[in-house]
Amino acid sequence: MSLPKLLLATKNQAKVQEYLLLLQGVPFELTTPAAEGIETAVRETGETLEENATIKALAYASGSNLLALADDSGLEVVALNGEPGALSARYAGADASDEERIEYLLRRLEGIPWERRAARFRCVIAIASPEGEVELCQGECQGIISFEPRGENGFGYDPIFYLPQRGKTMAQLSTEEKNEVSHRGLAAKRARQILLRLGRNK
């Protein structure tokens, strides 16, 4: 018997690979917009991570007629009053690369000492049905913004997000370590519980 499909509503291949690991064993066949021939372009017009995740999940669910999972993640830096937050992906401009975003953030923090560089990563996952029902869950991870990028494993702001308890940046962790402690890993554990329940109800 074939499993119902769950659409991972992202075109970010690094994120797809993370979710394929994080959601192993859920009672759904994980698929992507590329695999389904879906070219939906969704504008993230929300002011919060919750709003953006919901907008994306609903758009992909209604456009594909599949259950859809979308997330929005943000880096919140205490010394910058919570910036970049929901603007994390567009902080240095809509078309900026990860390196340019990191460079821009480090410039904003120039002169800020180590003890005032506290930050957290937050991830909100929305799971939406084609009928418009949405369930949300989230995870967060505390850290410190380092003075320079370190590590190759990861994307976004991972190379400057230092985890004191591990003595490494997020980008220096192995995939297994990252999935244990990351904001997305923690949110995905909660999403897994929702998906197990939805799968039982199919």
CA 105 to chain centre: 18
Pseudo-torsion of CA 30, 33, 34, 40, nearest 10°?
A: 180
To which residue do tokens 């967060």 refer? 140
Whether 72 is catalytic is: yes
Are 33 and 9 in contact, with CB atoms under 8 Å apart?
Answer: yes
Residue type at 63? G
Say which residues have a Cβ less than 8 Å from residue 115's Cβ, sequence separation at least 6. none
Catalytic residue from among 72, 95, 98, 158: 72
Whole-number Å distance between alpha carbons of 94 and 171? 23
The three-class DSSP label of residue 107 is helix
Q: Which positions are catalytic?
A: 72
